[in-house]
Each structure stands twice: as structure tokens, then as C-alpha cells.
Amino acid sequence: MRAVDPTNGELIREYPEHDEDEIALRLERADAAFRAWSLRPVSERAALLRSLAGVLRADLASHAELMTAEMGKPILQAEAEVAKCATTCDWFADHAAAMLEPEFAATEATASFVRFDPLGVVLAVMPWNFPFWQVIRCAVPALAAGNTVALKHASNVPGCALALEDLFRKAGFPGGAFTTLLIPARGVGGLIAHPAVRAISLTGSESAGRQVAALAGASLKKTVLELGGSDAFVVLADADIEHAARQATLARTLNNGQSCIAAKRFIVEEPVAARFEAAFIAGMAALRVGDPRDRAMQIGPLARMDLVDELEDQVRRTLAAGAALRLGGRRQEGPGCFFPPTVITGVEPGMAAFDEETFGPLAPVTRARDAGHALELANRSRYGLGASLWTADVERGRALAARFEAGAVFVNETVKSDPRVPFGGVKGSGYGRELAAFGLREFVNVKTVWVG
């Protein structure tokens, strides 16, 4: 596996893939570790999660630098990602015991209750765009519940994958509780079929989700799929337009625009659309693009050159369909995978930038006749991960939130993941939930115990 710096295209390091014998050994160790780990009191598991939080914070700078090198994340955002991972470890350490407490039911039995028992080895198939956070938000609740975790990370971040394994070791987790498998994507099918693997969590593309779901279904194994998104950012006529435009800029460009929950379709009521577009374009144009190691830069490179090719093609097809280019639109000249902030207006359903997921700092703006039309446009997507709604009438916002076809709706706030609330989508964005109690209980046996 090759780690390549997307800032300049230079090879960072090559890593040997694990062969079949090494993979089998690691899965056997994970299965053996589960037998003991699952019997340890939740308090002991929680203590190790707190230790993991401490290890993450102790080496925060080096972890951030590794992410920035391998996939181009701006360094300030990389540091924030590591800090968020540590906070999440602490949160589950504080709350896992309560969330795993048996729940009693009133029946004619002497006692009847539900236990939440772990399943076994959870295979985590994770992406490159948040190389620490995506893994932590999957692995930490699974481990807290008593499972063990085998990580198959994206092939372009092998250094991050091995660093994560080392973090769990340094934190004191038993051998095999968290293991990394360095294999290409074509090897995932064999992992799913392996008898040691009892469940699979995937964060990835819609096509990857279909393949994993089919393979897991053939083996009758539980899956959680967190797939793509094309989140709507809906601005009603009574919103604070300048504030909404500032937040739109942040929502579209976080992580260089490479986020499943980034705002990707900007739907604005007609009476305020021109004002929003002007403020939005100005905000996007002011962003500084350059070396992600430079703390003054807000936009770094895309992670790979094929992503630049795809984004440029989506812009081309959208403009050919009749939309108007207002900013950016083509790759930056010179070395690296840089694509500047881009705004396209006059975007309608049927155009590439509206119908497809865009992974980069490309912002299509669509005008709506009224709030009802805006909601209709927001739901006119095969995806359903998140949505945000901007309005001065909070009660109206709460009412409209019920009508969005999405796993999360944020009113007057950008969409984000937080350990305190569940995260996941509907429709083409997948199924199942991560984080909070709902995420913790995805990989457990919800077991009824009835005492006569």
C-alpha cells in the first residue's frame, strides 16, 4: 500500500499488505480476545477508554500531521479531529455502563428483562476522509459494549491505520481487542465471510454499501451502513441571510469539501436568493487555498487525483445542462490535487451537481418558489443523510424538520456528528446508527431473559 502526499504527489511510504496467513492470525486473535474482553466489567472497559483519550491527547500533534500528510486535511481541522476522538472516548467511558444496564419489563414472570450482550468481532470498513474520527466513532462504542474490532481502513491512509492500532496498544487494550488489517478493497469479501467476524460496519460509497450488504446478507451477518450524502442546506426568506451564507461556506468546505454530511445542495427561497448568492460567492472566494500544513490555509488538496477528475467532470456536465458558473470551476494549475472553491447557480434537478454526490468544494445553488417547494427539492434526492434549515421562526423550523427525509435535521446549525446523539441516514445514505445509545446497541444481542 502506498501513502502519497496529495499536496505534491510525492510518495510518503510504502507498506506491505498482510498476506492470508497474517489476516487469519489477526482475526483468530481478535476472536480469542473477545472471549475474555466480553466478560470484563464495563467499568474496566471504560477505564481503558479514558486511557485511550489520554493517549490521543498526548500525541495530538503527530496524529494530526499524519492525517494531513496522507489525505490533505488542513492541519487545524486535523488537530480538531483528534481532539473530538478523545472527547468521544471520554463520553462513552462515562455513559456506557448506564446504556448497557438491563431493562426490566413488567410481566407475570418472577423477573423478565432485556440484556445487551456483545456479538463478537466487528469488522470496521472505514474511509479516508476522516481517518481517525470515522474509526473511533465506530470502534469505541463497539468495544465499550464488549466486542472486539478488526479495522480494514482505506488503502490511501495505511499510516493512519497502523497508528490507530498502536494507540489502542499504548492505551492498554489487550492484544487482539483492536487490530488493523492491511488489505485492498477486493479482500473485504473474504473478511465478511470469515467465521470470526460477526458483524460489519461500513462507512463508504453507496456502491460499496450495496456490495457489503449483499455479502453480509449471504452470511446472515448484521451490518451498519453509513453511506454517501447530498445534504440540503435550505434557506427560507425570513432567515438571517448574511449569517446563513457564512455558515454555508463553512458547511461546504470543511475537510476540503470531502465529507458525507457536508452541505451539498443549497436551496434558497426566490425573494432572498440573489442576496444569498452574492454573500455566499464572496465568502467562498475569500477562502485561502494552499499547503494544508500552513495554519493560515482553509482549503487543502483533494485526497487523490481521480477525485479532482470526477469533480471537474461534474462541473462540466452541470454547466452543459444550463447552469451558470459564478466562481472557480476547474482544477488549480501546478502540482497537487487542488480544486478551488466553486459556486454554480441556476442548478436544477436532473443536473449532475444536484442529482449526484459531489466530494469537494463545489456548491450548487437552486432557487425555490416558497418553503414548500424548497422542502420538495430537498427531498428530491436518492440520499437522506442530513439536512439543515435556516429560518427566523424556530417553531416553524421544528415543524418542518419532521418533513425532511433525512437521518438528521439541524435548524439554524450546520449538520455534524456528536457522540451524544445518533448518526446515520435513510434511503441511499444507508441504515443503522452510530454514536449515542442507539449506536452502542447496534452491535449487541438484545437478549430477553424470562425467569419463571
Active site residues: 226, 260
Quick one: residue 321, left, alpha or beta (phi over 0 = left, psi -120 to 50 = alpha)? alpha
Gap between the Cα atoms of 268 and 279, Å rounded:
13
Gap between the Cα atoms of 330 and 325, Å rounded:
10
Considering only CA atoms, which of 190, 260, 188, 189 is closest in space to residue 430? 260
Quick one: residue 346, left, alpha or beta (phi over 0 = left, psi -120 to 50 = alpha)? left
- The C-alpha angle 82, 88, 94, rounded to 5 degrees, equals 145
SS3 for the chain is CEEECCCCCCEEEECCCCCHHHHHHHHHHHHHHHHHHCCCCHHHHHHHHHHHHHHHHHCHHHHHHHHHHHHCCCHHHHHHHHHHHHHHHHHHHHHHHHHCCCEECCCCCCEEEEEEEECCEEEEECCCCCCCHHHHHHHHHHHHCCCEEEEECCCCCHHHHHHHHHHHHHHCCCCCCEEECCCCHHHHHHHHHCCCEEEEEEECCHHHHHHHHHHHHHCCCEEEEECCCCEEEEECCCCCHHHHHHHHHHHHHHHHHCCCCCEEEEEEEHHHHHHHHHHHHHHHHCCCECCCCCCCCCECCCCCHHHHHHHHHHHHHHHHCCCEEEECCCCCCCCCCCCCCEEEECCCCCCHHHHCCCCCCEEEEEEECCHHHHHHHHHCCCEECEEEEECCCHHHHHHHHCCCCCCEEEECCCCCCCCCCCECCEECCEECCECHHHHHCCCEEEEEEEEC
